[in-house]
Structure 1
Amino acid sequence: MANVSIKADIKVQWPQGQSSFSPGTPEELAIIGVDVLVKALGTDAARSFVMQVFERYAHEHVAATGNTVAHPLKNMPTP
């Protein structure tokens, strides 16, 4: 895995105000992105969008690891 650092200032405008974020790692950036998706689209639409991204790379994960375990988000119970 690559050592990646991110330098970004993200400002999100909402009807109720604004939010500012400064992620430093890919993990922090992903959490911010998912948080914004959920707030903008709702939980179900955000989950669907994220699943599309995971599906795009699922074959690479299986090829690299030989792991054929089902994706954890696919089997999540829906509220």
Structure 2
Amino acid sequence: MIDREHALPVVQQARLVGIARSSAYYEPQPVSRTDLQLMRRMDELHLEFPFAGARMLARLLRREGNKVGRRQWAR
């Protein structure tokens, strides 16, 4: 899609494709194994307690020894 070796500048290539220039430079970061395990546990807790809000779910995770705030949970 965006070719950095092309004679046309990246800015113009991004404009022609219809994406933001910052998207052309974005490189995704891999998610750590511990974050994946934490997300899996968050999903399990959410299925177990569908009525629970972010604060309650964060509290449950902290009781299990995970360091997580409600804002991280809400994300």
TM over 0.5: no
Q: Which has the larger radius of gyration?
A: 2
The structure where helix makes up a greater share of residues is: 2
The structure where strand makes up a greater share of residues is: 1
Tell me the TM-score normalized by structure 2. Answer: 0.29
